Amino acid sequence: MMRYSAHQQAWLAHWLTLEGKAEDSMAQTMAGAKVDMNPHQIEAAMFALASPLSSGVILADEVGLGKTIEASLVLAQKWAERRRKLLLIVPATLRKQWSQELEEKFSLPSVILEAKSFNEAKKSRAY
């Protein structure tokens, strides 16, 4: 995977946000997002996607730095790669917010699984 300098990341984020153009599959994912991205968010998403052997990463930035955007970029890229079984674990108080933002900003469908709905789905063999 190509590594971008901080300047290149800033330019790419600006270019994609304004022009909606794409240079590769990750850029296409970013171009489809309805959100302004910062270079550090793109860098975090690229880090999460960098290792083909990686089973996942933990995004643990401070409050307000855009973990939702970072994680959503990763999920959108995986979705674009036709991976449909993706698991996102978030605090219970944020489940609806994340689900709404995934749909509104990245056009990603999501299902909120809680113990009750999971057990019901399990009984009906939906999962």
**pLDDT higher at 2 or 84:** 84
Token output for 78: 């995986």
- The CA-atom distances, in angstroms, between 35 and each of 7, 68, 71, 85 are 20, 11, 13, 24
Distance CA 11, CA 127 (A): 43
Q: What Å distances lie between residue 20 and 8, 37, 75, 91, CA to CA?
A: 16, 12, 19, 32
Domain boundaries, the chain: 6-123
Tens digits of per-residue pLDDT, 60-86?
888 888 888 888 888 888 888 788 888
Share of residues in the chain with pLDDT > 90 (%): 3
Q: What is the CB-side half-sphere exposure of residue 83 using CA atoms within 13 A?
A: 9
Whether the pLDDT of residue 33 is over 80: the answer is: no
